[in-house]
Structure 1
Amino acid sequence: MSMFLEAFTWLADSAAWMGATSIGHRLGQHLIITMIVVGIAAAIALPVGIAIGHTGRGRGFVIAAAGAARAVPTLGLLTILALAMGIGITAPIVALIVLAVPPLLAGTYAGIENVERTTIDAARAAGMNEFQIIVHVELPLAAHVILGGFRSATLQVIATATLAAYVSDSGLGRYIFAGLKSRDYPQMLAGALLVAALAILIDLGLSVLQRMVRRSVEPRMPRPRSRVAGPSLKGAS
């Protein structure tokens, strides 16, 4: 308990919120890294996932490749990339993209693939081409599932982006590595709490957005009419 009190004392210290190494500065770096990584991963995964979900082709190969990418330890990959690319932010970004692509890819093709075939057939019968079907039918109906993949990828990147401080002076992970190196465990715990708080806040925001999108695409089912029993004709003369 005393460790947590010391961590909160460190967070409440005005010195931690001032200068180039302030919490606000590190938080901004962490968010920028996350946005860059998720943006690039989405640019890779969304078109591939849409194509797989729409055509059904290449599903097995991409699932196997995504599973293999998930199995790669991020710290080990980061170390290899840092040795190849040098110290800096490039290696962490590439390693985090490899981490973010699988959940985005899985969410996209699963969402597109699960759209009712009867709905797609009706769109074709109405004269829509394949591009129009993807844009106006499949993507809106699959949006909440795609957002689920986006949410999962974002949380994984936020948590793992702490490793960026392993080879660069960036992000909230710097407090964790600096605290570990200097045995300043309150600072180390404070860094972990900041990452956890950021992940929780982002998750809450994305969960609200996902529910809103899901409700917007849910079909409005007509309410069943109440049946009023009529007069019995049994025994009527």
Structure 2
Amino acid sequence: MNVLNFVQAFFGDPAHWHGHDGIPQRLLEHVGYSLLALGLAAGIGLPVGLLTGHTGRGGNALAFLATAARALPSFNLLVLMFVLLGLGLLPVMIPLVVLAVPPILVTTYEAVRSVDPAPVDAARGLGMREGRILFRVELPVALPLILGGLLSAAVQIVSTATIAAYVSLGGLGRYIVDGLYQRDYEKVVGGATLVAALALATLAVFRLVARIVVSPGVRGR
């Protein structure tokens, strides 16, 4: 059978649409892991990126940390966390967050630093406080690039969250891991197709969000 036949057989089987191992349940689990990891990574990367980008300090340290974090293999880190922490969600969240923080942090820093200094200087001349300058002047202009960093992190998380299945959790990775163990390549191909489709859906969602939250003037630029 070729890949298309595997895909057709997987999605055409009614058994894959019901129960705890059905596509809706596994998709819900995968989205849950991904949203949690993205929220944690954004909670770390956005504030640090905004602050360092506004002050212009710490750029070299951020670049070093981002390079170091990207060099860590997610699966190896998962195994290490599993050995240290045992089963559970935490050993999965740590490698996913470590993977997602660098693109958010570095892109946010660069986005704020790339804002035209003229309106920033004008805002300071009018007596605006630094916090208001950041959120009222710099952030609206930097928002498209910041969303780009969040998108990059989200797609990486969605693609990598399959590792949850290796520590007995759910998600779309269950189809891939179980399929390989059972030599059920229909299930493997179906799981990989679902992960790819979810990554494309993530891209579409972020584009929609960008059209809603980014002002037309900035989007036109």
Contact 1:111 1:146 in 2 (8 A): yes
Q: Which residue of 1 aligns with 2:114?
A: 114
Sort the Cα spacing of 1:80 and 1:113 in 2 relative to 1 into closer, same or farther, 3 A: same
The secondary structure found in structure 1 opposite 2:192 is helix
Counterpart in the other structure of 1:230:
none
TM-score (norm 2): 0.95
- Counterpart contact for 2:176–2:188, Cα < 8 Å: yes
Distance 1:121 1:47, change over 3 A: same
* Superposed CA offset, 1:143-192 (max 9, x none): 11100000000000000001111112211000000000010011000000
Structure 2 partner of 1:142: 142
Tell me how far apart the structure 2 counterparts of residues 63 and 220 of structure 1 sit (CA, whole Å): 29
Instruction: Give the structure-1-normalised TM-score.
Output: 0.89
User: Quick one: structure 1 residues 30 and 220, their matched pair in 2 at CA, closer, same or farther if it must change by over 3 Å?
Assistant: closer
- Report the Cα distance in structure 1 between the residues aligned to 2:202 and 2:65, rounded to whole angstroms: 28
> The residue matched to 1:218 in structure 2 has which SS?
helix
| Structure 1 residue 107, shift from structure 2 partner | 1.5
- Equivalent position of 2:174 in the other structure: 174
Cα distance in 1, alignment partners of residues 24 and 46 from structure 2? 32
Structure whose residues are more often helix by fraction:
2
Q: Number of residues paired by the alignment?
A: 221
Q: Percent identity?
A: 42
Q: Is it true that 1:71 corresponds to 2:76 in the alignment? A: no
CA distance in 2, matches of 1:178, 1:148: 34
Question: What are the superposed Cα offsets for residues 1-43 of structure 1, whole Å, 9 maximum, x if unpaired?
Answer: 5343133212121111111111100000000101100001111
1:47: which partner in 2?
Answer: 47
Following the alignment from structure 1 to structure 2, what is the Cα–Cα distance between the partners of residues 52 and 217? Answer: 26
Q: What is the CA RMSD across the aligned residues, in angstroms? A: 1.7
Instruction: Tell me, yes or no, if the aligned pair for 1:148 and 1:210 is still in contact at 8 Å.
Output: no
Give the unaligned 5+ runs of structure 2.
none
Q: Deviations over 1:90-109 (max 9, x none)?
A: 10111100000001001211
